[in-house]
Chains A and B, each alone.
Chain A
């Protein structure tokens, strides 16, 4: 792209010079930090993650900033709903844990009922056996003898 006169005119405008005193101060600050640097090494992934997080923060703050009170109210409502949900959810296992083991009387009663059940089942089996057809020999048919003769 060729530059026109206007662009050349802009290009010729000299920029402000960096203040001379900054060099010593900035390099001194950098040197102090070099001595106290953390062990962690810089990685591209970490830089990308930091940038992503920063962008996300910026985007979120741009969305939330226009009505901070409304968003704070909504967040508070959600916190209340979640707290109520957790308090209800927490009770059920506690109730299950706290239920007392059956008393000896109940155990005796249960065993008695179990025994009755076994007897009843045994009785039903016997009746069923009674009802089964007895294998009594029946008189033989004489039709076969007639045919033979």
Chain B
């Protein structure tokens, strides 16, 4: 879900990096974890991003949508990582017994089953659809902001969401009907 960054008054009291971390790290973490499905990779990508922000202080000058800008950086870094891994990662994924879920554990067994099913269904989506679905559903971004963040046309963002959601709906229908 979309969380507004801290107010400027409280932001001024903190160093810039801490402000950025507190305002955006949770969203970036969930997004990266949903893309990479690997906590160590997510940690590395998140750290690289903040190292980059520390080294290049002018980077955010003139940026009007900080969250969208940071998501774009995170997305590009994750896509680069996945491309570098390429075939090795695909093979590893095929043999991986457990899918790392981007969702918090649930107390209710039905909910836990649904979340596990949802994590599996999301993992089955192409990365570009997964990114749009994540930003729309759990970041609450509009298609305009998603398009800006991922550097894609607005229609592409909308169609990727529709295709991704249709696939999730199809895969999760039995579970959803059961717990509805």
Contact = CB atoms under 8 A, between A and B. Distances in A.
B21 interface: yes
Interface in B1-53: 1, 17-18, 21, 25-26, 29-30, 33, 43, 46-47, 50-51, 53
Interface stretch (A35-43, A70-78, A97-105, A106-114): A35-43
A31 B176 contact: no
Interface residues of B, number: 44
Interface in B57-106: 57-59, 76, 80, 83-84, 86-87, 101-104
B54 interface: yes
A138 B47 CA distance: 118
Given A26-B46, A61-B86, A41 B51 contact: no
Interface in A21-44: 22-23, 25-27, 29-31, 33-34, 37-38, 41-42
A61 B76 CA distance: 17
A30 B46 contact: no
A23 B47 contact: no
Contact of A7 (B56, B80, B158, B165): B165
Interface string A7-26: 10111011111100011011
A65 B83 CA distance: 12
Contacts of B51: 29-30, 33
B115 A34 contact: no
A25 B48 CA distance: 12
A139 to B, nearest CB: 108
Contact of A27 (B21, B58, B115): B21
B118 A13 contact: yes
Mostly, the A contact residues are helix
Contacts of B18: 27
A6 B176 contact: yes
A15 B103 contact: yes
Contact of A33 (B43, B55, B104): B55
Given A10-B118, A11-B138, 16 more contacts: A11-B1, A13-B114, A14-B103, A15-B103, A15-B104, A16-B101, A16-B102, A17-B104, A23-B25, A25-B47, A30-B47, A33-B51, A41-B58, A42-B55, A42-B56, A51-B76
24 contacts: A7-B165, A13-B118, A14-B104, A15-B26, A15-B103, A18-B25, A18-B30, A22-B25, A22-B29, A23-B21, A25-B47, A26-B21, A26-B46, A27-B17, A29-B51, A33-B55, A34-B54, A37-B56, A41-B56, A42-B55, A54-B83, A57-B83, A58-B83, A58-B84
Interface of A: 1, 5-7, 9-11, 13-18, 22-23, 25-27, 29-31, 33-34, 37-38, 41-42, 51, 54, 57-58, 61-62, 65
